[in-house]
Structure 1
């Protein structure tokens, strides 16, 4: 059958549905829409010829939802609307105050336009399974509509949809999985797409504190000290997939809300609490290695938003103890971050800018402001040099991998990797060159204006790095450009006869003369005053000749 026939049949079906929506009873409407849902749930296509009809269908479904119909019919209508909401061109009827209030009511969100006293919450004990499915479908619809329509985003702000979402965060302990998942996802979308809403979410609705409590409950955190969660039981089962999904949505929403922080004692306490929860998360495993890595990635992104002074929470865990040579600090989390970094470097075909630079930035700032973190990371990444016969960028050690990144084609990746190594070297040019060679470090030194050597502006402790005996003995023979000891090159004229040497010399003179005549190169000389000038001018100017100067 030709495509035009298929389009005709599809249009006839939509016309048939639309003609019956106003007059059909509840059971007939449900039957019509169920058939539409089955045919379009997986193969829905955006047909421009049907755009007006689909838009009318959105309006018709909203009208049905505005009536007092049974939960099964509500659910079917919402499934239809969710399918339609994938096409941003048909959302005009939904992206209105009336449409968003209807969906908000179906999702049991207490918006600013509704009285909260007689409204049910999605977590009410008497709620049936069918009623719960209605709530989930409404939340899914809202996610699609908000994502695809800027008009719907504006209406969401006007009706204070975020207020209802934050009210539901307070009942997180009684959430069923999908209700919680899509509540958090909708909050993430609103905070991502409407930056002007973030301030209200933080100040008026205390969303940061509420999301922190959601994380604390979802990750089953038990406190054993100030900002110190109990160590996860190594024998315990991995974190369930559903808990991990909700935790990641909460992390994404928190990331948006902490992109800019106001500071203050209250914020400092909240940020330290978040850092402690993230430390707990970094020590957890999920059901799959891929999901564990994804959760850790979101945790690292959020840690980058926290004030760097809060990162001491990652290592200051007295109850669990630490390593004496690092001031009694616990470096388990830092090791997890180093392992994560190396795994991201080794990942074939990965986007380094998105996948690697966040953890590099986090480790850089942690090393710059916390001495114990820097000392520990340097011991793992830049151990004392012994074998200097191999170029720094060649090999499988972490140092080799990071030095290779210093010449990466992506400028952001290159700068972040170089800055990380520079900070590990206490921003000393000499130390950096020792580990990387001048050729690899040149880009950073030019950018920082440190080609002549010296240090960056950050103050570091005075403890000195100790060189190995192997490095000390090889140091005079290291090529500073390549950063390794090169094999001596054979002298090309050693086995030449005198006639051959003279021939090569004459050939070289001829080449220079030819380049000079073609103005490719220009021989220079030094004038009596010390300035450079073309060679012929310096030969023509007799010493003490002042003929070119002005006379009184």
Structure 2
């Protein structure tokens, strides 16, 4: 459709004509993501015209069509000036039923509590989608959102999460995620004034159907239960992403300890759940791992301290089910062979810090990753065990991946250089040892328990023959001169002398000697007549 024609008709058309006109435009452009620059000014005018229509008292069906048009146009960041204004954002906020700070009234009450028809809910969803696009593509709109306290309306909406239909909740959470990601200055306000971290925890509890059986213990998911529905999983992931932003670089105080522990318990519950597909399960677990990394490491004891469900005696009665889930997740990410920095390092960092601070976690992980050595005839980086895979990462080209993998194994070895070399070999561990200043051996600064590791009989018998550089027993190399005749040996020796002489004449190598003062110098400078007087004094 010709944009000039649309604009001219919008000026005089009635509500039904506007609806029909914009519906046709939407059908023709619903899959358009790359727009012609030459029509930029016309699309900007269309944005303004649509906002003008939305400012009138029109039926929900027309509002929905207008918002669909605006959503399509908002994919182009160059035409958002009319929308990224106080008036434009307030209009979209009203369409989304979000109570902004300027509207006054009961701040604790959200208009989402009203009973909406299905058509009215579609209007709310389209408005939220528009806001997501506009906020993502326009820094000016981000600033206006802060000025009109749009996030406040979202938090008020979060309080009525139980009455949401799926898409209203999904795009409300997505908009909160975008605002908290793009405006770091908003995070403190969301935490302090609007208690957004607690609100998001409540959303997760409701979405994941958490049933508490202890202070920080959720009932174990029924193994026979159906997988978590895809819609619940989508909302949970948006809530996790927003929570990640709000807890990033935030240590909190004593009053936050309870909230952090509650989040850790909810995340443990999530990690034990399955979704409809393995891919979605892995994605949910990835977001859970990212958020766990933001929590104080002292809170990680919630993951294993489950008095009702019980644990294993050899690990102090702690329940290690979720630690095994994290180990399985880590191995899957290693096996993918790509995107290690974003996909693998978070779970490695989480398990490293958990092992460093919690003895039972370290002992369990070491039993799975670094079991007692038996076969030392194969290099530690060769094979399919999780130990082999991690040792290979110690020489990865990405410095961050290499350091994180090495640090993880070092902590499992209680930061003992000798123990690390036993499992990895000096060649693989050299990078970490140089960085930590431990080439001469010793331990890191962290204190660990005194429980000793026992070596297997196979390892003890092979230990004297292990090459410390490669970390395995090497087959003895054949002596190349054993089967030579005396004439062949003399010939090879003469060839070696000739080679050195040639290199010396070409100054590739220079024979060196030692001066009387102990310093090195070219050989010809150190040779002198033993009867020559080098004292420098004249004789009588």
Normalised-by-shorter TM-score class: over 0.9
Superposed displacement of residue 218, structure 1: 0.7
- Structure 1 distance, partners of 2:73, 2:228, is 35
Contact kept, 8 Å, 2:110 with 2:153, in 1: the verdict is: no
Change (3 A) 1:138 1:56: same
Contact kept, 8 Å, 2:110 with 2:156, in 1: the verdict is: no
Superposed displacement of residue 235, structure 1: 1.3
Larger mean Cα displacement after TM superposition, 26-35 or 43-52: 43-52
- Structure 2 distance, partners of 1:544, 1:391, is 58
Contact kept, 8 Å, 1:110 with 1:119, in 2: the verdict is: no
For residue 143 of structure 1, give the secondary structure of its aligned residue in structure 2.
helix
Please say if 1:34 is aligned against 2:23: yes
Give the equivalent residue in structure 2 for 1:326: 315
For residue 383 of structure 2, give the secondary structure of its aligned residue in structure 1.
coil
Please say if 1:205 is aligned against 2:202: no
Post-superposition CA distance 1:75-129 (Å, at most 9, x none)? 0000000000001111111011111110011111111111234998453342111
- Structure 2 distance, partners of 1:543, 1:16, is 112
Contact kept, 8 Å, 2:47 with 2:83, in 1: the verdict is: yes
Change (3 A) 1:217 1:120: closer
Change (3 A) 1:402 1:262: closer
Change (3 A) 1:120 1:365: closer
Contact kept, 8 Å, 1:122 with 1:179, in 2: the verdict is: no
Give the equivalent residue in structure 2 for 1:342: 331
Change (3 A) 1:124 1:544: farther
Equivalent in 100, 112, 125 of residue 123 of structure 1: 112
- Structure 1 distance, partners of 2:363, 2:537, is 63
Superposed displacement of residue 524, structure 1: 3.1
Contact kept, 8 Å, 1:304 with 1:362, in 2: the verdict is: yes
Contact kept, 8 Å, 1:528 with 1:543, in 2: the verdict is: no
Change (3 A) 1:20 1:391: same
Post-superposition CA distance 1:336-383 (Å, at most 9, x none)? 000001111112x53111111111111111111111101100000000
Change (3 A) 1:526 1:373: farther
Superposed displacement of residue 544, structure 1: 12
Contact kept, 8 Å, 1:388 with 1:485, in 2: the verdict is: yes
- Structure 1 distance, partners of 2:487, 2:42, is 93
Give the equivalent residue in structure 2 for 1:7: none
For residue 103 of structure 2, give the secondary structure of its aligned residue in structure 1.
coil
- Structure 2 distance, partners of 1:209, 1:99, is 31
For residue 533 of structure 1, give the secondary structure of its aligned residue in structure 2.
strand
Change (3 A) 1:181 1:540: farther
TM-score norm. by structure 2 comes to 0.96
Contact kept, 8 Å, 2:99 with 2:111, in 1: the verdict is: no
Q: Which runs of 5+ in 1 are unaligned?
A: 1-11
For residue 311 of structure 1, give the secondary structure of its aligned residue in structure 2.
helix
Change (3 A) 1:459 1:547: farther
**RMSD, aligned α-carbons:** 2.4
Give the equivalent residue in structure 1 for 2:515: 527
Contact kept, 8 Å, 1:374 with 1:424, in 2: the verdict is: yes
Write the mapping of 1:129-528 to structure 2, written as runs, cut at 5 A: 129-347=118-336, 350-528=338-516
For residue 213 of structure 2, give the secondary structure of its aligned residue in structure 1.
strand
Contact kept, 8 Å, 2:97 with 2:112, in 1: the verdict is: no
Contact kept, 8 Å, 1:123 with 1:176, in 2: the verdict is: no
Superposed displacement of residue 539, structure 1: 3.4
Superposed displacement of residue 551, structure 1: 18
Change (3 A) 1:166 1:345: same
Superposed displacement of residue 410, structure 1: 1.4
Post-superposition CA distance 1:248-268 (Å, at most 9, x none)? 000000001111114211111
Post-superposition CA distance 1:308-353 (Å, at most 9, x none)? 1111111111111011001111100000000001111112x53111
For residue 34 of structure 1, give the secondary structure of its aligned residue in structure 2.
helix
Change (3 A) 1:510 1:118: closer
- Structure 1 distance, partners of 2:236, 2:421, is 43
Post-superposition CA distance 1:381-407 (Å, at most 9, x none)? 000000001111111111111111111
For residue 224 of structure 1, give the secondary structure of its aligned residue in structure 2.
strand
For residue 123 of structure 1, give the secondary structure of its aligned residue in structure 2.
helix
Change (3 A) 1:200 1:120: closer
Post-superposition CA distance 1:428-455 (Å, at most 9, x none)? 1111111111111111112212111111
- Structure 2 distance, partners of 1:312, 1:118, is 37
**How many matched pairs?**
540
Change (3 A) 1:150 1:548: farther
Please say if 1:102 is aligned against 2:91: yes
